[in-house]
Structure 1
Amino acid sequence: MNKIISFILIVIFLSSCSEYQKALKSEDLSVKNKVANAMYDKGKYNKALRLYEQIAPAYRGKPNAERLFYLYSKSYYNTKQYYLAGYQFESFASNYPKSEKREEAAFLSAECFYRLSPRYSLDQTDTDKALNKLQAFIDTYPDSEYLPKANEYVKELREKLEKKAFEIAKQYYTISDHRLEYNAALTALDNFISDYPGTPFKEEALFLKFSTAYKLAMNSVQYKKEDRLIFAKNAYATFTKFKSDSEFKNKADAMLATINQELQQFSK
């Protein structure tokens, strides 16, 4: 019985392969479309894609090709070719505005850009594109069943951009070793804190601002030193007001003690 079943499966497999090969070579668009749909239904998306790619130019713009272009787009999506899938879904949504699949296509187009977004340390052009696409979807379909997922993606992407911005500001702090670079670091940290007031990185950013102000004051020329020590002391106050039990508190307290000691020379 097992041999019979195996034989039947082999025959079906060979028949399927033969049907697919014939469709690839066929000049009949309907044959290619039929076999492509069969390959898609079987989860053989790469094979379906090869056939859809052959016939798509001939069907482009035709109202009766709606299902074809939907499956064509999904084949790119299911094979993780997200650039091409995003383009095809966007084209589908534009060409078939009355389609019941339009909303899904618009969401999947935006999702493709989300999936193309790289880790935070790399260029974030695709992240910006994804946010624009997702926001456009949310604005167009405020009651969509895909809205929770779209909002989740937006939150994740914004957090990624926020982390990128923080790492850039932190880099200014890391490389600073003279007065001009200290000022650049202070500006970068101030901009970050202003741009992302609710950021989870605020505690560290405020500490780095204080630490930078401390370094600037300690390396300052004498006639500017008092003002810069006071500025650093104010930065300490802002930092501790935000997070009185910060993990950076001990380091900050040690620097504050030095600041207070340095300020004594100006009170005489």
Structure 2
Amino acid sequence: MFTNYQKSVFLSVGLLIMIGVTACGPSMETPKTLDGTEAELTKQAQAYYAKGEYEKALGYFLYIKDHFPRGSSAGLSRFYAGECYFALKRYEEAAAEYTSFRDFFPNDPMAAEAQYKLGVSRFKDALGPERDQTDLNEAVVELQTVIDKYPDNAEMVEKAKTKILEVQDKLAEHEYLVARFYRIDGRYEASNARLRYLTEHYTQTDIMPDALLMLGENYLKLKNQEFAKEAFWRVTQEYPSSKSTETARKHLEKLGATNIPAPVLTPTPSEIVEPASTPTPDETVATPPAGGFREGYVVLVREQKISINLIRADGIREGMLLDVYQGEQLVGSIRLTDVQDGFSVGEIISLAPGASIAEDDRVVVRP
């Protein structure tokens, strides 16, 4: 029989072994031995990398990093280990290597690029089915560091600014979708809390006019006409070419507003949807399948990207085709590209002539 002390010792040793195995996980790919000098191994690693053989290159770079920690290739091996992981879409491990390079070689000419790639890795690592808003916010922090710490590197600063806007678009889209779900449930105050945060923190994102429009419509439901009018005015004044402007103008007219700015309806090239294929006239009107099929609705339309309320728990997967209906009218079809935790995203693959997909349209999974 073991004493309690012996049991605790065995447990501690077991935990240490487990921690040790976990900690050395990424370096398990390092070859046990490679013949050649540091310079020769580095040259071979770079050759594999140039040919796109990232697994082989990674093994070499990790070996060089571990066996020549103070060598002339110490920085390069860390940076390119990160590049290999990034190319292999192993973003968490890429982030670890970029962080290591940045911390050990903060003044290296490649430090700004490593910092930028660290931010991009955080961004990409957060875009899986369980999108984590914390990771997206961390991506913004890392990208902002490029701007703050390396202001003289114009190329990386410009890339960081562009990527920050892309990350913020994702954060704003998440807030909008949550706000819309609250609105559908009749929880207008909760919806507006999300929308106010969005309109205060993500002012440069494309979804701003849609968010302001929903904010105003929520205020109408809450019988607060003054706040509603303020939100609608912002849409018409700040986003005159938005598709939301005409709806905002109609609300203002009903509220008795005057001198409403005229809309600018000329579409930009990015707003013009060119469907991959167009259904024949016989396909544009159809009776939706009766019972037994999974159905949902359109939550958000952003150019050719359509967000719906169905998720993986509903049995849907990437690549599935769904038909979109307005009443009994078949208006188009989409293919799912990203099934996430609270919603899914698809791309338009066909539209009926003259038709467009709108929020609240019904989606039906094809059998």
Could you say whether these structures have the same fold, taking a TM-score greater than 0.5 normalized by the shorter chain as the test?
Answer: yes
- Is structure 2 residue 170 aligned with structure 1 residue 160? yes
1:248 alignment counterpart: 247
User: Size of the alignment, in residue pairs?
Assistant: 216
Distance 1:44 1:120 in 2: 28
Q: Which one of 207, 214, 218 corresponds to residue 212 of structure 1?
A: 218
Distance 2:41 2:50 in 1: 12
RMSD between superposed Cα atoms in Å: 3.5
Over 3 Å counting, the alpha-carbon distance change for 1:109 and 1:248 in structure 2 is same
1:149 aligned partner, one-letter code: K
1:10 alignment counterpart: none
Is the CA contact 2:175–2:194 (under 8 Å) kept in the aligned structure 1? no
1:164 aligned partner, one-letter code: H
Q: Which one of 184, 189, 195 corresponds to residue 190 of structure 2?
A: 184
2:150 aligned partner, one-letter code: Y
Distance 1:25 1:191 in 2: 52
Q: Which one of 122, 135, 138 corresponds to residue 126 of structure 1?
A: 135
1:13-64 deviation per Cα after TM superposition (whole angstroms, max 9, x unaligned) = xxxxxxxxxx95746463882543442343322112123334533333x243
State the 1:204 CA deviation.
3.8
1:237 alignment counterpart: 229
Where in structure 2 are there 5+ consecutive unaligned residues?
1-29, 257-367
Distance 2:46 2:122 in 1: 26
Over 3 Å counting, the alpha-carbon distance change for 1:203 and 1:138 in structure 2 is closer
Distance 1:83 1:238 in 2: 44
1:215 aligned partner, one-letter code: K
Is the CA contact 2:62–2:77 (under 8 Å) kept in the aligned structure 1? no
Structure that is richer in helix per residue = 1
Distance 1:75 1:86 in 2: 11
2:37 aligned partner, one-letter code: S
Aligned identity (percent) is 25
Over 3 Å counting, the alpha-carbon distance change for 1:100 and 1:241 in structure 2 is closer
Is the CA contact 1:93–1:102 (under 8 Å) kept in the aligned structure 2? yes
Is the CA contact 1:213–1:235 (under 8 Å) kept in the aligned structure 2? yes
1:119-176 deviation per Cα after TM superposition (whole angstroms, max 9, x unaligned) = 7993322211110101111100112121111110011112221222222222221111
Distance 2:210 2:250 in 1: 12
1:88-127 to structure 2, matched below 5 A, reads 88-118=97-127, 122-127=131-136
2:54 aligned partner, one-letter code: Y
Over 3 Å counting, the alpha-carbon distance change for 1:105 and 1:167 in structure 2 is same
Is the CA contact 2:119–2:139 (under 8 Å) kept in the aligned structure 1? yes
Larger Rg: 1
Over 3 Å counting, the alpha-carbon distance change for 1:99 and 1:165 in structure 2 is same
Distance 1:162 1:92 in 2: 32
- Is structure 2 residue 89 aligned with structure 1 residue 83? no
Over 3 Å counting, the alpha-carbon distance change for 1:119 and 1:152 in structure 2 is farther
1:66-81 to structure 2, matched below 5 A, reads 66=74, 67-81=76-90
1:65 alignment counterpart: 73
